[in-house]
Amino acid sequence: MEWLEASTENCPVQRTLDVVGEKWTLLILRDAVNGVRRFDDFHRHIGLSEAVLSDRLRKLVTAGILNTVPYREPGSRSHNEYRLTRKGWDLWPALMALSQWGEAYTLGSEGPVLDIRHTDCDAPVRVVVECSADHSTLHPGDVTARLGPGAQPRR
């Protein structure tokens, strides 16, 4: 069976996009990675409607990417903060890769909004694909893609 003969129902890219593949969702995750926790802060910073924000936050909580932690300001009713779970933090490399691509191909002359550096040595951070055995950096011509055990014929 070849790639074009395989069903994409179990494709991890497709399933990931089903959960986080919408613009507002990725921007919420970007802000959460950068320390935004409260509904009003997401709303003000991203600029989407309260209804859309509520829907996206609810979906991220349901998917186990964010969890809620109650807080209460003096004199106010209880609210929730939104915190990344381990599953949410595991999306950080994907967000970094999107940022890296954007800096290379879509950035204006004023430069990036964030300058992300390694805390210990102050070198810029970059995302790479590497071999799990020898940790060498790989490029598309260095890899072979084979159908995996979850591949099923297209219907």
Cα separation, 83 vs 71, whole angstroms: 12
Half-sphere exposure of residue 94: CA atoms within 13 angstroms, side-chain side: 13
pLDDT of residue 73: 87
Contact 89, 80 (CB under 8 A): no
Chunked mean pLDDT (size 10), the chain, 155 residues: 89 94 97 97 97 98 98 91 98 97 93 94 96 96 94 89
pLDDT of residue 3: 86
3-142 fold: Arc Repressor Mutant, subunit A (1.10.10)
Minimal CA–CA distance to 97: which of 13, 39, 2, 40?
A: 13
Sequence spans of domains, the chain: 3-142
pTM comes to 0.89
Structure tokens at 93: 């490399």
Cα separation, 67 vs 6, whole angstroms: 36
pLDDT tens-digit readout, 44-73? 999 999 999 999 999 999 999 999 999 988
